Amino acid sequence: MEVKLKKDSFLKNINWRSFVMIFVLVFVWIIFSILTKGLFFSSRNLTLLLRQATILGTVAIGAVITIVTGNFDISVGSVVALNATIAAILDVNYGWGVFPIIIMVLLAGMTIGIWNGFLVAKVGIPSFIVTLGGMMLFRGVQLLISQGKTIGTMSDNFEKISNEFLSPTFSGTIIFLCFLLALVFIFLEKRFDSKYGINVPMGVVFMKILGFIIFFGLLFYMTYTYKGFPYPVVILAVLVVIATVMMTQTKFGRHLYATGGNAEAAELTGIRTNRTVLSAFLIMGILTGVAGILLVSRLSAAAPNAGLGLEMDAIASAVIGGTSIYGGVGTVIGAIIGSLILASIDNGMSLLNISSFTQYIIKGMILVSAVAFDVRMKGR
């Protein structure tokens, strides 16, 4: 009887939506690998694909965090552009070093996040309106301080942030250590479960191990046979780990979900929802700072129309990755998978030299299907 119970909850615990999206991602990869005669799956392309997805991935994390609290941030593209422009001006016109610029840009992002959060949480304006205003406001500030011109070229050190790699040996070692760590976790979890009399079938444990072998094996193949991890991918990986731990293991994380799930109930249980929402926007602000730095470093310049439409791609990534637009549901990993799907479509189509028109059609279809799935699940 007990075993039966556990089995049910195990199946319930699987995020089927995320699982479906992993499947879509693998499917997309297989299709492109076949069409490009393996070129898509070469370690070089996978490495570059990951790097191409980093800017979107970074803001997609922020999108999940805000959408989970039931709010949208559509000022992201403009804010990222503003942050990138601040970095470019400090570098090109004032000759600041890399670290002072990074700190300054993160502070700028944070300030903007607090501004948005304050208007939403304390003043009580709907987030869509606040950030729609922000979208225009921050684009305007960006155009004003750049005089509508492209600001570049960045110093060599700054350019390195996006264009350098950790050495293959070093990357390989990190991957191996992470793999060992994952095995230790599985072992500890199993022991913990057994201790409290929960009998997890060996099959499940085995499956988890197999999953990790594939995941880390793929990373190892990708990095070790090309140039190693690009810096931006390392940065994103660190952000993903921090955000995941924050969302799933901390009180603040549970407050985020509770606020989005049912704000009134959350308030009644003593959660200060206003503060939670403000914090969510603050985190989004910091992430736009990171994205701004990555963007300006990738192009070695800040352009007036940088980041245009980024907010929509970020929301799309989150939603494709299982975030509910009604709030209260969503995972960081899901959003990363979502952004990987979008970046893979860009990348594969580009390798095949197919026009960008078709890309929009396919992306739109995936997005709508994902939401359809969401709505149906909710309806049950």
Partner 1 sequence: MSKKTKYWSVFIAVIVMLLLLVPFSFGAKEEKPKGIMIAVSLPSMSQERWLIDNKLFSALGDKKGVGVIVQHANDDEKLQATQIENMLTQGIDALIIAPVNMDAIKPSVDAAKAEGIPVVAYGRIANNCDVDFFVARSNYSVGWEEAKLAVELYPKGNYVIISGDEGDLVAHEKTQGVLDYLDPYVKDGSIKIVSQQFTKMWTTENALRHAENALTAHNNDIVAFVCNNDSTALGALQAVEAQGMAGQVYIAGEDVEIPVAQAIVEGKITASFFTPLTTWTEETFRVVLELIDGKKPDYDSTLNNGFKDVPLIAIDAIPVTKDNMYEEIVKIGYHTVEEVYKNIPKDQWPSE
Amino acid letter, residue 284: M
Give the integer Cα–Cα distance in Å for 244 and 313.
Answer: 20
CB of 64 to partner 1, least distance (A): 22
Question: Within positions 232 to 251, which residues make up the interface with partner 1, using CB under 8 A?
Answer: none
Shortest distance in whole angstroms from residue 207 CB to partner 1: 6
Distances (CA, A) of 250 to 246, 255, 288: 5, 9, 23
Nearest one of 234, 305, 287, 289 to 87, comparing CA atoms: 289
Q: Which stretch binds partner 1 (CB under 8 A): 106-114, 119-127, 135-143, 349-357?
A: 349-357
Longest Cα pair distance anywhere in the chain, in angstroms?
71
Shortest separation between residue 10's beta carbon and partner 1, angstroms: 9
* CA distance readout (Å), 336 to 22, 311, 323, 375, 378: 10, 15, 11, 21, 22
Cβ–Cβ < 8 Å for 240, 26: no
Q: Which listed residue (144, 177, 180, 207) binds partner 1 by CB under 8 A?
A: 207
Helices (H), the chain: 2-13, 16-35, 43-68, 76-92, 98-117, 127-146, 156-163, 168-195, 202-224, 231-249, 251-261, 263-268, 273-299, 310-320, 332-351, 356-379
Distance CA 90, CA 154 (A): 10
Q: How far is the CB of 217 from partner 1 (least distance, A)?
A: 9
Residue 244 has phi, psi (to 5 degrees) of -65, -45
214 touches partner 1 (CB under 8 A): yes
Residues 22-51 that bind partner 1 (CB under 8 A): 22-23, 26, 29-30, 33, 36-45, 48
- Tokens representing 358 are 């078709």
Residue corresponding to tokens 């009887």: 1
Q: Which is nearer to partner 1, 91 or 346 (CB)?
A: 346
Kindly tell me which residue out of 35, 141, 218, 246 binds partner 1, with binding defined by CB under 8 A. 218
Contact 69, 282 (CB under 8 A): no
Q: Which is nearer to partner 1, 81 or 287 (CB)?
A: 81
Q: Contact with partner 1 (CB under 8 A): which of 350, 364, 368, 375?
A: 350
Tell which one of 216, 221, 224, 373 touches partner 1 (CB under 8 A). 221
Q: What share of the chain is helix, strand, coil (3-state, %, to 5)?
A: 80, 0, 20
Q: Which is nearer to partner 1, 133 or 304 (CB)?
A: 304
**Interaction of residue 356 with partner 1, rule CB under 8 A:** yes
- Contact between 351 and partner 1 by CB under 8 A: the answer reads yes
From 108, 263, 278, 295, residue interacting with partner 1 (rule: CB under 8 A): 295
Closest approach, Cβ 340 to partner 1, in A, equals 14
- Give 5 or 245: the residue with its C-beta nearer to partner 1: 5
User: Which residues of this chain interact with partner 1, rule CB under 8 A?
Assistant: 7, 11, 14, 22-23, 26, 29-30, 33, 36-45, 48, 52, 55, 150-153, 159, 162-163, 203, 207, 210-211, 214, 218, 221, 295, 298-301, 303, 305-306, 308, 346-347, 350-351, 353, 355-356
